[in-house]
Copies of this chain bind each other. A is one copy, B any other.
Amino acid sequence: MHFTSEQRFDDGVLEREFTLGEIPGILWTPASRPEPGAAPAPTPLILIGHPPLGLRRMYPRLAGRARYYAAEFGFAAATVELPGSGDRPRRPELEEARAELRRVLAAGEPVTGGIVDALILPLVEQAVPELRAALDALLALPGIDGPVGYEGGVISVGVRLALVEPRIRAAGLFAGSFVPAVMFEEARRVTVPLHVLLQWDDEGNDRQAALDLFDAFGSTEKTLHANMGGHTGVPAFELEPGARFFARHLR
């Protein structure tokens, strides 16, 4: 892991861009605030996922959440670029799947399971091992202790990661993308506490499928927060309950 830039904000949060092999990422860490005479509290890590639109385009939303977590809750937060996104090399099979999705949406044709699988599964297969390698590197840094929470989309990435990575102790998922049928089976085996956000009027999202996925999760603690509005319209007031969810389970 190589740090390529850093800046410290007025709230004490340190933002550092890094590369891990060929994968760019960003890390936010809180100002250290040791109580006089007390041992410093462990610093959990929130791994922030995002749609495959490129880190630069997603930066304002990601940084807003990450800096809030660091400044208000003392969490570290990090995000990495998804395969085939941003400045990373294109992946022809993902490009083809997205072109096919655009074509059927434009033609008013149904989005078949085959299209959804081609769009999402290769992303899950490559992103999850990359995120686990990022966890290895991030948790080896001084001042980042874990445990780890995952939050954001792509929801199928979150499902797989929560299933296979024992360091993930809680997940805040965003029900806003196509979900391959196989992920419903994986969801039944997920047991970590979940906090799921659903935008009720999400244009590109099947609401019933999102409710069915929420129902499928095996976790005994799972909460759904549904709000009005489209995909990008999550209300600002959802930031705090999301952070409190992680505080309950990571501290």
Contacts and interface: CB of A to CB of B under 8 A. Distances in A.
Main secondary structure of the interface of A (DSSP, over half): mixed
Interface residues of A, number: 20
A213 to B, nearest CB: 13
A224 B222 contact: no
A244 B244 CA distance: 13
Interface stretch (A38-46, A57-65, A133-141, A225-233): A225-233
A72 to B, nearest CB: 14
Given A200-B215, A215-B200, A228 B222 contact: yes
Contact of A228 (B220, B227, B248): B220
Interface string A229-243: 000000101001100
A50 to B, nearest CB: 23
Given A200-B215, A237-B244, A241-B241, A223 B225 contact: yes
A235 B226 CA distance: 17
A224 to B, nearest CB: 4
A221 interface: yes
A228 B248 CA distance: 17
Interface in A202-224: 211, 214-215, 219-224
A221 B228 contact: yes
Given A222-B227, A222-B228, A223-B225, 9 more contacts: A200-B222, A200-B224, A221-B228, A221-B235, A223-B227, A223-B235, A224-B227, A240-B244, A241-B241
B237 A214 contact: no
A226 B214 contact: yes
Nearest to A220: B228
A226 B224 contact: yes
Contacts of A220: 228
Nearest to A226: B224
Which 4 pairs of residues, A with B, have the shortest CB-CB distance?
Answer: A224-B226, A241-B241, A223-B227, A225-B225
A220 B201 CA distance: 11
B226 A223 contact: yes
Contacts of A227: 222-224
Contacts of A221: 228, 235
Nearest to A211: B211
